[in-house]
Amino acid sequence: MMLYDHAHKRLVLFEQQATPEFWDEQWHKENIKTLIASGKTHHFIEHFTKRYVPAGGKILEGGCGSGQVVWCLNKWGYDAYGIDYADRTIRAVSENLPNLQLSVEDVRHTTFPNNFFDAYWSLGVIEHFWDGFDEITQEAHRVLKPDGIFFLSFPVMSPLRKLKARLDLYQPMRASTPQKNFYEFILDQKLVSQQLDEQGFELVETSLYDALKGLKDELPLLHHPLQKLYKNKHVVARGFRLLLTILLGRLTGHMTLLVFRKTP
């Protein structure tokens, strides 16, 4: 069920609570080694990391899941760390790849010292917290060095979604709506940027992506054929998805990446 929260200009998805047990279940559906190795296709992450972080930099991924991004960052020449609260997943990955620097921690309260990292990746994490993401981003600010880079991605209110909200095409969320089965928020980029600005971050770049998902989720009549394309792993299908992102990303992008710099 998807509801629109007028007060915070965001969509709220109720599906299944994103607990540590939920994520353990999701990640254990696939072979751990295969899942980790799939990270080598993360050209998007590689592109932005290399643009902003010199080789050898110390990087944390908060909410690392199966560790595939941490594995990639190491391959690309970085000193990478990963944390997640999905205990069973972290233990399984560490048994297969003991050299990865992974640990079970809460992204809201980590054990790292102040000013420890050159960069921090947060990929689809902040939207899963019912009480908000303030503690997560404040903790990211604490562990980053001055001028450190914060890569933050989350589902976003694209122009298409904003248009649907203005046309009242979403069912409104009521103040009495229970938290039960809350999965994630789809957030307003401007409001997120304002909140981080107040915490001491400067926005330096934005990029909307995953346009196909943003399109298929919002156009029910086209959902079935677009879903087939979305799941197709053939190189032609991947190329077409990239083309859609280039052509429609600014209008239908499901996700946004915000690149922030910690102000001295």
pLDDT tens sequence across 33-82 = 565 655 555 788 999 999 999 999 999 999 998 888 999 999 999 999 99
Domain that holds residue 52: 2-210+256-262
Residue in the structure block whose two tokens are 């309260």: 109
Residue in the structure block whose two tokens are 């010292």: 113
Q: What is the pLDDT of residue 38?
A: 56
Domain membership of residue 225 (yes or no) is no
CA 86 to chain CA mean position, Å: 16
CA-closest candidate to residue 10, choices 136, 123, 194, 156? 156
Residues 264 and 257: their CA atoms lie apart, in Å, by 22
Q: Is the pLDDT of residue 24 over 70?
A: no
Q: What is the CA radius of gyration of the chain?
A: 18
Residues 112 and 117: their CA atoms lie apart, in Å, by 9
Domain membership of residue 248 (yes or no) is no
Burial bucket for residue 98 (CB in 10 Å: 0-12, 13-18, 19+)? exposed
Angle of CA points 257, 106, 109, to nearest 5°: 95
- From residue 130, alpha-carbon distances to 100, 197, 233 in Å are 30, 21, 33
Q: What is the pLDDT of residue 29?
A: 46
Select the more confidently predicted residue: 6 or 181: 6
Residues 102 and 46: their CA atoms lie apart, in Å, by 20
Residues 214 and 154: their CA atoms lie apart, in Å, by 12
> Using the 8-state DSSP alphabet, how is residue 236 labeled?
H
Domain membership of residue 251 (yes or no) is no
CA 64 to chain CA mean position, Å: 10
| Mean pLDDT of all residues in 152-172 | 96
Q: Which two tokens stand for residue 72?
A: 């990639």
Domain membership of residue 38 (yes or no) is yes
Domain membership of residue 99 (yes or no) is yes
Domain membership of residue 220 (yes or no) is no
Cβ atoms of 122 and 133 closer than 8 Å: no
Structural domain count, the chain:
1
Residues 96 and 104: their CA atoms lie apart, in Å, by 16
Domain membership of residue 22 (yes or no) is yes
Contacts of 21 by beta carbon, 8 Å cutoff, 6+ apart:
none
Query: Which residues make beta-bridge pairs with 117?
Result: 144
CA-closest candidate to residue 210, choices 235, 238, 187? 238
pLDDT tens sequence across 178-199 = 888 899 999 999 999 999 999 9
Q: What is the pLDDT of residue 213?
A: 86
CATH number at residue 43: 3.40.50.150
End-to-end CA, the chain: 42
- From residue 1, alpha-carbon distances to 102, 108, 127, 155, 239 in Å are 34, 27, 16, 16, 31
pLDDT tens sequence across 204-259 = 999 998 888 888 889 887 777 777 767 777 777 777 777 777 777 789 999 999 99
Domain membership of residue 239 (yes or no) is no
